[in-house]
């Protein structure tokens, strides 16, 4: 596995780091406290090219590879995971889906504005009764008698960027009688400014609070057939392929969170004194720091391997599900473990909102849940390894 970073890779990493420190760091705590969506910095991120890193320039992106995306997302998430997940959804879930399965017309009309940062995209798979059971979709999109459009009805839940998205990649049942049910799922591009679409309340979340999340509702929404992505019945296959890409993004987000917590804990261990010594001189603190660093670096290697597998898939067409699931599982659980240890090292100060440690802890938890829980990831990994279902 070649981990050599090119000059371009280092450039986008440094650019993301500089932007995060100058533009996001001063406002992260305030937006976490208020739960407001950080429009201004997200629009600046779009202008810098961070919303379409892997999208070719002819469609409004910057035309770089998956490793470049991972490096940039890691730096953004290290400062604020809310900005990181907004960036991840636009890149990994929305843009990736349109880029790989959309027509030329769809790419020009619905990919370009999101990749160039003009508007925000979202991805709608989860429903109130179907989270991990993603095939159990009940939102319907029934073809009109004249075959010109789909009439959509139903509710999607926990839609990241749902309250602010202009376009949404929606997965709905176009054939509710299909057996098994997932064979009746199709993918559709939704324009949220059209009649029949509405948004529920923004969810009051534990972490990533500046990332807006809500239910979305459809009541006789008319979606032209020209906005279907792929063929009828291919939606579930598209959704799962897109999640392969998305999980690499969440792994990179988790890595950024873990790094931020580790660096804060390391510095605190160098400065804080107890019993006449720096606490970093005590063996139990040293053990925590050593394990934190080791898990972080192991996560990084898994993420980079998944990124390289995704790049190889462009030539071979081979799925990289195993690599993305392993990276996401290990990095997300590392983030949760590292942030827990960081609070312990900080003691009472780690529990205080005066420091960002408790925010890292709150933000880390969701990385074990969205885009496939750790339990689902392990099930997928085991099935791929054994061939048993």
Q: Tens-of-pLDDT digits for all 389 residues of the chain?
A: 557 899 999 999 999 999 999 999 999 999 999 999 999 999 999 999 999 999 999 999 999 999 999 999 999 999 999 999 999 999 999 999 999 999 999 999 999 999 999 999 999 999 999 888 888 999 999 999 999 999 999 999 999 999 999 999 999 999 999 999 999 999 999 999 999 999 999 999 999 999 999 999 999 999 999 999 999 999 999 999 999 999 999 999 999 999 999 999 999 999 999 999 999 999 999 999 999 999 999 999 999 999 999 999 999 999 999 999 999 999 999 999 999 999 999 999 999 999 999 999 999 999 999 999 999 999 999 999 999 98
Q: What is the pLDDT of residue 2?
A: 55
Look at residue 65 and give its three-state secondary structure.
coil
Alpha helices in 63-197 (DSSP H): 66-79, 81-88, 96-101, 104-106, 112-115
**What was the pLDDT predicted at 11?**
97
Pairing of strands 121-124, 167-173: parallel
Is 241 in contact with 169 (CB distance < 8 Å)? no
Tracing tokens 């804080």 back to the chain, one arrives at 272
**143: helix, strand or coil:** strand
Contact 184, 141 (CB under 8 A): no
Of the CA atoms within 13 Å of residue 341, those in its CB half-sphere come to 28
* pLDDT at site 131: 85
CATH number of 122-233: 2.40.110.10
pLDDT at 132: 86
In this structure, how many other beta carbons lie within 10 angstroms of the beta carbon of residue 219? 13
- Structure-token pair, residue 378: 């392990």
- Up-side HSE of residue 21: CA atoms within 13 Å toward CB? 7
Class of domain 7-119: mainly alpha
Superfamily of domain 236-386: Butyryl-CoA Dehydrogenase, subunit A, domain 3 (1.20.140.10)
Domain extents for the chain?
A: 7-119, 122-233, 236-386
| 296 and 258 Cβ atoms separated by less than 8 Å | yes
Annotated catalytic residues are: 371
Pair 30, 267: CB distance under 8 Å: no
């Amino acid at each position: 596995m070649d981990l050599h970073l090119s000059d371009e890779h280092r450039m986008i990493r440094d650019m993301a780091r500089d932007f995060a420190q100058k533009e996001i760091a001063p406002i992260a705590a305030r937006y976490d406290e208020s739960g407001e969506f950080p429009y201004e910095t997200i629009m600046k991120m779009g202008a810098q090219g961070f919303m379409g890193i892997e999208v070719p320039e002819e469609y409004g992106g910057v035309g770089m590879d998956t490793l470049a995306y991972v490096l940039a997302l890691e730096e953004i998430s290290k400062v604020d995971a809310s900005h990181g997940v907004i960036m991840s959804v636009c890149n990994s879930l929305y843009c990736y889906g349109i880029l790989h399965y959309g027509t030329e017309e769809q790419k020009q009309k619905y990919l370009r504005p999101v990749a160039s940062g003009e508007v925000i995209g979202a991805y709608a798979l989860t429903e109130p009764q179907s989270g991990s059971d993603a095939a159990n979709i009940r939102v319907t999109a029934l073809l009109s008698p004249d075959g010109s459009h789909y009439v959509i009805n139903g509710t999607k839940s926990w839609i990241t960027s749902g309250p602010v998205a202009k376009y949404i990649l929606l997965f709905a049942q176009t054939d509710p009688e299909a057996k098994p049910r997932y064979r009746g799922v199709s993918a559709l591009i939704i324009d949220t400014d059209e009649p029949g679409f509405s948004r529920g309340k923004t969810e009051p979340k534990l972490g990533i609070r500046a990332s807006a999340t809500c239910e979305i509702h459809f009541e006789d929404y008319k979606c032209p057939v020209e906005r279907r992505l792929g063929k009828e019945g291919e939606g579930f296959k598209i959704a799962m392929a897109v999640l392969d890409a998305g999980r690499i993004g969440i792994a990179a987000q988790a890595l950024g969170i873990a790094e931020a917590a580790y660096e804060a804990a390391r510095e605190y261990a160098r400065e804080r004194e107890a019993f006449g010594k720096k606490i970093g001189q005590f063996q139990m603190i040293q053990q925590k720091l050593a394990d934190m660093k080791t898990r972080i670096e192991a996560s990084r290697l898994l993420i980079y391997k998944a990124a390289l597998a995704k790049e190889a898939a462009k030539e071979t067409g081979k799925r990289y599900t195993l690599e993305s699931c392993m990276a996401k599982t290990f990095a997300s659980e590392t983030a949760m473990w590292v942030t827990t240890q960081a609070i312990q090292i900080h003691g009472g100060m780690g529990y205080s909102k005066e420091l960002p440690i408790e925010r890292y802890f709150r933000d880390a938890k969701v990385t074990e849940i969205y885009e496939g829980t750790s339990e689902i990831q392990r099930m997928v990994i085991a099935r791929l390894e054994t061939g048993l279902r």
